[in-house]
């Protein structure tokens, strides 16, 4: 089945080599970081997690977002998702692999990573994160591949796959819940210490994941013969739209709790992210994330409006723009603000800002390219099988 | 028929997973927490619905910092810091980004952010306050560590295993006191011919890059019957008093019984072992 990825037109190969090139640059940057230490990044004693862990957090959401395609199809027998469920599963595979790569890139002693397995520590949320992420990867590889392979052979998939598919549904929720628990169980980090963190993670994931999928689907509609179909497209609009609205509702709850309670710890990071935060002693204002976070809110809200409008006028172009807006909005919100904001101010109420270095950005781009590479291969295989089947049918 | 059977299996399967998984996981979590409460291993019966608070058995090392005595003696805090950092081969990179520190000075508003208010007296505003790892009775860093590279000794000291640490820095996110430092680069290296560790002390290991480190209450000296280096550097001033908090006859217990002391961020439930006289 994998041989289908070896046949493609010029654009396909150009795209793959572009990704390989970026992966190569990322690899070289990683060698630099590996030889120097994590000091090659912009992280510091005060901001100890940077863009790697924030990408990881966001991508766990993208992986979990696949649930929004699997659940309607397998649990509610929503037949119109028949053509795209596999895309959700394969997107989860690529996203989880990126997550694992980002964690490896972030470790100070990557060669010791297996200590997490050798010395299992059930009181650490990272231990559970290791289990749920790897478990989710295997579930999606097995289910996705088994179902597609059956389709390739022109038969129905075996019965043993079914329980694994059902298991993958709560498992998707678990990956993002545990990832939220990494943050929201830490005393002294007020911004993360909120019970709505896991629900908000899930809401933004269920919008961002399907949004990315829809963007890819629309691109494929232009470049291949593969069309997810109007009905499925419209259903996805509903899912993305409501999930995005729930996310903003929960963000609003955070803002209310922070500012109405007037408790400084609850306001500091929100101040820092949306308005800028002044140092106690010097009065200097720190606000390097403010333009991004404000843009995130505007793009998100505009995206939601455009999303529903595009369905009304049945415009693919507007739908694509809406999805890009929502995806970017949530990428900024979770892939930048959430993790970086949590470190400002520090537990000692100092303010240190973080700027990623070129090496760090190179590694980040390399990992995204790796994800894109894996995703392209998987999607190439999937749609080749689907199109072939439809031809013979 | 078929669809009801499928429905039944679905529900049965899910409940089985939840039923088997959840209590087992919860149990492990509870047990580990109690273990993490450590020197407080005595707290185990309490967690199971038994006793009240801590039983006074077992060692639990702690410290009282008399900040008044430090402010009366300028330079004393710096002396204590130097004694600690030079013995423990704490590197100096000459910048804030890579900084490593075990014991250092902070302003009151930073050391005690939740005790800050508008009308502080001049001393509070101008003086510096020594801060270090609190060796919490209920340390969030130990809870967070995925490899047990940071763990709690029976004597209450929160320790680091530099050889097991994978450098994930989860403990640094978890510590509410900013007590932990990371080796962002090789501490054994040098810049422009100036080594980061001025003079390497062969009696204590240097670290490699990519691991976390912090104050260890000089546990290796305690084993030799000596006091921590910072306490020793303060001489007989009584600016730092160290000892077993669970021994009612120890000097530190006597100070705690007779003087009003505060802890850093006690509301977080970490139960710090370092107390301050302000």
Q: Determine the residue among A116, A163, A282, A348 to mutate to test chain B binding: the one whose Cβ has the most chain B Cβ atoms within 10 Å.
A: A348
Distances (CA, A) of B184 to A71, B159, B177, B204: 43, 20, 19, 20
Q: Which of B144, B111, B145 is nearest to B127 (CA)?
A: B111
Sort A260 into a burial class: Cβ within 10 Å, 0-12 / 13-18 / 19+: exposed
Q: What is the pLDDT of residue A360?
A: 97
B34 pLDDT above the threshold of 50: no
More confident of the two residues A303 and B1: A303
Rounded CA-CA distance B144/B242 in Å is 27
Rounded CA-CA distance B51/B20 in Å is 30
Percent of chain B with pLDDT over 70: 79
Summarised one tens digit per residue, pLDDT across range A44-68 is 999 999 999 999 999 999 999 989 9
Rounded CA-CA distance B177/A3 in Å is 55
Q: How many residue pairs bridge chain A and chain B with CB atoms within 8 Å of each other? A: 168
Give the closest of B110, B165, B173 to A109, CB-based: B165
Interface contact B14-A349, CB threshold 8 A: no
Q: What is the pLDDT of residue B52?
A: 45
Summarised one tens digit per residue, pLDDT across range B223-267 is 999 999 999 999 889 999 999 999 999 999 999 999 999 999 999
Mean pLDDT of A359-377: 97
Q: What is the CA radius of gyration of chain A?
A: 21
Can you name the residues that pair with B113 across neighbouring β-strands?
Answer: none
Question: Could you tell me which residues come within 8 angstroms of residue B63 by beta carbon, excluding any fewer than 6 positions away?
Answer: B217, B228, B231, B240, B241, B242, B252, B273, B274, B275
Distances (CA, A) of A152 to A1, A155, A278, B53, B255: 8, 8, 61, 64, 78
Rounded CA-CA distance A219/A215 in Å is 6
Q: What is the pLDDT of residue B18?
A: 58
CA distance B264 to chain A (A): 10
Residue A272 DSSP class: H
Residue B4: how many other CB atoms lie within 10 Å: 8
Rounded CA-CA distance B239/B64 in Å is 8
In chain B, what residues touch A116 (CB-CB under 8 Å)?
146-147, 166
Rounded CA-CA distance B163/B147 in Å is 11
Rounded CA-CA distance B255/B252 in Å is 5
Mean pLDDT of A78-98: 91
Q: What is the pLDDT of residue B114?
A: 87
More confident of the two residues B41 and A93: A93
In chain A, what residues touch B176 (CB-CB under 8 Å)?
186-189, 347
Output the six-digit token pair for A213: 């999928």
What DSSP assignment string belongs to B241-261?
Answer: EEEETT-TTSHHHHHHHHS--
Rounded CA-CA distance B158/B38 in Å is 10
Percent of chain B with pLDDT over 90: 72
In chain B, what residues touch A122 (CB-CB under 8 Å)?
25, 28-29, 32
CATH class of B61-277: alpha beta
Give the CA count within 13 Å in the CB-facing half-sphere of B229. Answer: 19
Give the closest of A113, A124, A182 to B145, CB-based: A124
Banded model confidence at residue A280, pLDDT cuts 50, 70, 90:
confident
What DSSP assignment string belongs to A182-248?
Answer: HHHT-TT-TTT--TTHHHHHHHHHHHHHHHHHHHHHHHHHHHSS----HHHHHHHHHHHHHHHHHHH
In chain B, what residues touch A167 (CB-CB under 8 Å)?
13, 17
Q: Are B100 and B181 in contact (CB under 8 A)?
A: yes
Quote the Cα angle for A357-A359-A362, to 5°. Answer: 110
CA distance B274 to chain A (A): 16
Output the six-digit token pair for A384: 């080749």
Q: Which residue of A has its CA nearest to B30?
A: A123
In chain A, what residues touch B211 (CB-CB under 8 Å)?
108-109
Strand segments (E) across A78-224: none
Q: What is the pLDDT of residue B5?
A: 65
Rounded CA-CA distance A267/B45 in Å is 39
Q: Determine the residue among B176, B210, B211, B212 to mutate to test chain A binding: the one whose Cβ has the most chain A Cβ atoms within 10 Å.
A: B210
What 3-state DSSP class applies to A249? helix
Q: Which of B244, B276, B255, B215 is nearest to B70 (CA)?
A: B276
In chain A, what residues touch B177 (CB-CB under 8 Å)?
188, 347-348
Q: What is the pLDDT of residue A229?
A: 87
Q: Average pLDDT, whole number, for chain B?
A: 85
Banded model confidence at residue B118, pLDDT cuts 50, 70, 90:
confident
Output the six-digit token pair for B262: 């505060």
Percent of chain A with pLDDT over 90: 80
Mean pLDDT of A88-102: 95
Can you name the residues that pair with B194 across neighbouring β-strands?
Answer: B191
Can you name the residues that pair with B191 across neighbouring β-strands?
Answer: B194
Q: Are A121 and B165 in contact (CB under 8 A)?
A: no
Banded model confidence at residue A26, pLDDT cuts 50, 70, 90:
very high
In chain A, what residues touch B209 (CB-CB under 8 Å)?
37-39, 108
Give the closest of A103, A122, A187 to B176, CB-based: A187
Can you name the residues that pair with B130 across neighbouring β-strands?
Answer: B105
Banded model confidence at residue B42, pLDDT cuts 50, 70, 90:
very low
Summarised one tens digit per residue, pLDDT across range B163-188 is 999 999 999 999 999 999 999 999 99
Q: What is the pLDDT of residue B13?
A: 61
Mean pLDDT of A119-141: 94
Q: Which of A177, A164, A148, A144 is nearest to A64 (CA)?
A: A177
Q: Which of A76-90, B91-105, B202-216 has the lowest mean pLDDT?
A: A76-90
Output the six-digit token pair for B239: 């600016």
Q: Which of B145, B146, B133 is nearest to B174 (CA)?
A: B145
Banded model confidence at residue A390, pLDDT cuts 50, 70, 90:
confident
Interface contact B146-A108, CB threshold 8 A: no
CATH code for the part of the protein at A2-392:
1.20.1630.10
Summarised one tens digit per residue, pLDDT across range B58-95 is 899 999 999 999 999 999 999 999 999 999 999 999 99
Residue A334: how many other CB atoms lie within 10 Å: 25
Give the closest of A44, A106, A182 to B96, CB-based: A44
Q: Which of B22, B14, B62, B65 is nearest to B277 (CA)?
A: B65
């Amino acid at each position: 089945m994998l041989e289908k990825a070896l046949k493609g037109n010029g654009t396909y190969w150009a795209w793959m080599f572009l990704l390989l090139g970026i992966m190569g640059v990322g690899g070289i940057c990683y060698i630099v970081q590996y030889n120097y230490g994590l000091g090659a990044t912009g992280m510091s004693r005060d901001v100890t997690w940077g863009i790697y862990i924030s990408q990881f957090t966001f991508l766990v959401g993208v992986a979990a977002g696949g649930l929004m395609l699997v659940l309607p199809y397998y649990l509610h027998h929503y037949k119109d998702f028949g053509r795209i469920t596999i895309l959700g599963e394969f997107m989860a595979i690529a996203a989880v692999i990126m997550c694992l790569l980002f964690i490896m890139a972030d470790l100070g002693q990557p060669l010791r990573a297996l200590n997490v397995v050798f010395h299992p520590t059930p009181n650490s949320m990272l231990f559970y994160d290791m289990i749920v992420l790897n478990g989710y990867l295997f579930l999606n590889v097995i289910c996705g591949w088994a179902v597609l392979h059956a389709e390739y052979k022109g038969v129905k998939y075996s019965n043993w796959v079914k329980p694994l598919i059902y298991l993958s549904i709560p498992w998707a929720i678990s990956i993002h819940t545990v990832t939220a628990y990494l943050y929201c169980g830490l005393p002294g980090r007020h911004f993360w210490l909120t019970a709505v963190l896991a629900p908000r993670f899930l809401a933004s994931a269920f919008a961002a994941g399907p949004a990315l999928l829809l963007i890819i689907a629309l691109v494929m509609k232009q470049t291949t013969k593969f069309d997810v179909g109007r009905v499925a497209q419209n259903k996805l609009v509903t899912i993305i739209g409501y999930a995005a609205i729930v996310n903003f509702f929960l963000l609003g709850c955070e803002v209310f709790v922070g500012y109405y309670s007037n408790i400084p710890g609850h306001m500091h990071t929100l101040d820092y992210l949306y308005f800028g935060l002044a140092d106690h002693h010097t009065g200097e204002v720190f606000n390097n994330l403010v333009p991004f976070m404000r843009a995130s809110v505007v793009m998100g809200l505009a995206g939601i409006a455009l999303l529903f409008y595009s369905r009304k006028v049945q415009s693919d172009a507007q739908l694509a723009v809406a999805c890009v807006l929502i995806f970017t909005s949530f990428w900024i919100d979770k892939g930048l603000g959430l993790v970086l904001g949590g470190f400002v101010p520090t537990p000692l109420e100092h303010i240190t800002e973080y700027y990623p270095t070129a090496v760090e950005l190179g590694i980040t781009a390399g990992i995204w390219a790796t994800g894109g590479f894996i995703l392209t291969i998987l999607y190439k295989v999937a749609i080749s099988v689907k199109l072939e089947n439809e031809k013979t049918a | 028929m078929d669809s009801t059977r499928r429905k039944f299996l679905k529900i049965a399967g899910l409940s089985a997973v939840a039923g088997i998984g959840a209590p087992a996981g919860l149990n492990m979590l509870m047990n580990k927490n109690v273990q993490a409460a450590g020197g407080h291993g005595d707290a185990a019966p309490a967690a199971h619905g038994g006793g009240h608070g801590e039983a006074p058995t077992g060692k639990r090392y702690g410290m009282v910092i008399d900040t008044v005595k430090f402010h009366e003696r300028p330079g004393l805090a710096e002396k204590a810091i130097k004694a600690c950092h030079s013995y423990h081969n704490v590197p100096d990179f000459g910048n804030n980004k890579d900084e490593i520190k075990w014991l250092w000075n902070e302003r009151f508003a930073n050391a005690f952010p939740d005790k800050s208010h508008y009308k502080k007296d001049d001393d509070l505003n101008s003086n510096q306050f020594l801060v270090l790892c609190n060796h919490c009775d209920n340390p969030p860093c130990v809870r967070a560590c995925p490899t047990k590279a940071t763990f709690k000794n029976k004597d209450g000291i929160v320790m680091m295993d530099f050889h097991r640490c994978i450098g994930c820095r989860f403990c640094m996110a978890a510590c509410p006191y900013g007590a932990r430092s990371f080796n962002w680069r090789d501490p054994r290296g040098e810049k422009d011919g100036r080594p980061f560790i001025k003079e390497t002390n062969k009696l204590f290991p240097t670290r490699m890059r990519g691991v976390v480190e912090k104050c260890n209450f000089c546990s290796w000296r305690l084993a030799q019957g000596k006091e921590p280096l910072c306490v020793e550097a303060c001489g007989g001033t009584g600016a730092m008093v160290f000892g077993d908090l669970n021994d009612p006859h120890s000097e530190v217990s006597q100070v705690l019984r007779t003087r009003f002391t505060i802890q850093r961020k006690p509301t977080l439930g970490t139960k710090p072992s370092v107390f301050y006289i302000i």
